[in-house]
């Protein structure tokens, strides 16, 4: 029982909410709803013959024509403008059986989708396909009332709409420019692809030639490494031989110098050499005698120097002794000097 009671409460609550929403929607419809004559007059003003009787007994084709005019005015959309998109969609979905749906029906369905979006913006959220195929008086009054009020509002906002329209046109022009640039880029890309195909054979030849050159370069590099090793070995051998040559040259120079020293003796006669040797011996003896005499003299001078040193030390000792004696005798000498320096009257008085 409690469960049924809760269910009944929820049911009554949802009914109340639906009733409030329906009541609010009816109030909006009442505010937006226009008289039949005013609706017919507005449609006549746009150039389509229309009377209040046409609202009471609507004709589907006439109503579709009026709605198409509103769609073209507000969205720039007609059944002809949606035809390419619908054809592409039919081909995408149906494939080979794209024509299974008649062209008029297909375009009408595409037009209905765009018209429904327009009416949702105008405030009609319950627009259906039946409103196009089997319109009724009450539904047409609501739809036309909302459309006419939206057109009136649009006319009051012409400046804003024109501003956005200009922006749209500018954007459209930019899109067309970018599309043209894209087409140009695609053409250039196609030309580049053709050029690429044209030079593919040359590229292959260059690649083959490059591979051959790489192999040749590797061979040359290995040869260069071997030559570098031989060069280093030759340089080391050259340095060793250069050092040996310098040593031999140095020995040769010394040998030549010694030879030059000995050359005079080799060229002279034995008698001359004998006399030279005798003279050298005599000179050597004289020098030796002179050296001995100088050594004896040096020893004598050293002895004299030692004697002078001893005497000098004795003299220094005597001088020091005299200084000590003079220091000891200084008081007595002072007294004696004082006595001798007094006047004679002093002595006579005494």
Look at residue 203 and tell me whether its pLDDT is greater than 60. Answer: yes
Distance CA 332, CA 201 (A): 141
Number of H helices, E strands in the chain: 11, 0
Q: Which residue has the tokens 């009733």?
A: 19
Helices 2-32 and 137-156: angle between axes, nearest 10 degrees? 60
Q: Which residue has the tokens 């039946």?
A: 130
Distance CA 229, CA 112 (A): 90
Where is average pLDDT lowest: 17-31, 269-283, 333-347?
17-31
Q: What's this model's pTM, rounded to 2 decimal places? A: 0.41
Task: Calculate what percentage of the chain has a pLDDT beyond 90.
Answer: 2
Phi first, then psi, for residue 163 (nearest 5°) are -60, -45
11 Cβ contact partners less than 8 Å away, ≥ 6 residues apart = none
Helices 60-75 and 137-156: angle between axes, nearest 10 degrees? 20
pLDDT by residue (tens digit) across 148-183? 888 888 878 777 777 877 888 888 888 888 988 998
pLDDT by residue (tens digit) across 254-302? 888 888 777 766 655 667 778 877 888 888 888 888 898 888 888 888 8
Q: Give the CA angle between residues 219, 225, 231 to the nearest 5°.
A: 135
pLDDT on residue 95:
66
Which of left, alpha, beta for 50 (phi over 0: left; psi -120 to 50: alpha)? Answer: beta
pLDDT on residue 349:
45
Task: Calculate what percentage of the chain has a pLDDT beyond 70.
Answer: 81
Q: How large is the average pLDDT for residues 306-329?
A: 83
Distance CA 108, CA 80 (A): 10
Q: How large is the average pLDDT for residues 109-114?
A: 82
Q: How large is the average pLDDT for residues 79-83?
A: 79
Look at residue 350 and tell me whether its pLDDT is greater than 70. Answer: no
pLDDT on residue 278:
87
């Amino acid at each position: 029982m409690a469960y049924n009671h809760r269910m009944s409460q929820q049911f009554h609550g949802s009914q109340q909410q639906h009733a409030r929403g329906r009541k609010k929607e009816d109030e909006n419809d009442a505010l937006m709803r226009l008289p039949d004559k005013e609706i017919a007059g507005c449609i006549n003003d746009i150039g389509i013959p229309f009377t209040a009787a046409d609202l009471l007994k609507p004709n589907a084709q006439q109503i579709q024509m009026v709605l198409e005019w509103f769609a073209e005015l507000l969205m720039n959309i007609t059944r002809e403008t949606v035809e390419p998109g619908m054809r592409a969609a039919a081909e995408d979905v149906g494939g080979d059986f794209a024509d299974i749906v008649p062209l008029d029906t297909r375009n009408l369905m595409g037009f209905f989708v765009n018209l429904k979006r327009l009416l949702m913006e105008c405030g009609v959220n319950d627009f259906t396909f039946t409103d196009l195929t089997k319109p009724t008086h009450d539904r047409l009054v609501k739809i036309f009332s909302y459309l006419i009020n939206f057109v009136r509002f649009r006319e009051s906002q012409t400046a804003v709409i024109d501003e956005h329209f200009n922006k749209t046109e500018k954007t459209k022009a930019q899109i067309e420019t970018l599309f043209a640039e894209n087409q140009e880029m695609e053409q250039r890309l196609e030309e580049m692809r053709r050029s690429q195909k044209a030079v593919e054979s040359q590229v292959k030849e260059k690649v083959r030639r490059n591979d051959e050159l790489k192999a040749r370069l590797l061979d040359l590099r290995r040869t260069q490494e071997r030559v570098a090793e031989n060069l280093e070995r030759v340089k080391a051998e050259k340095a060793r031989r250069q050092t040996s040559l310098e040593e031999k040259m140095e020995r040769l120079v010394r040998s030549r110098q010694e030879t030059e020293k000995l050359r005079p003796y080799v060229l002279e006669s034995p008698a001359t050499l004998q006399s030279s040797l005798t003279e050298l011996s005599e000179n050597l003896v004289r020098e030796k005698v002179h050296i001995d005499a100088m050594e004896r003299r040096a020893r004598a001078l050293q002895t004299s120097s030692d004697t002078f040193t001893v005497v000098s030390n004795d003299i220094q000792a005597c001088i020091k002794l005299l200084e000590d004696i003079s220091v000891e005798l200084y008081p007595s000498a002072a007294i004696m000097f004082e006595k001798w320096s007094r006047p004679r009257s002093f002595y006579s008085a005494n």
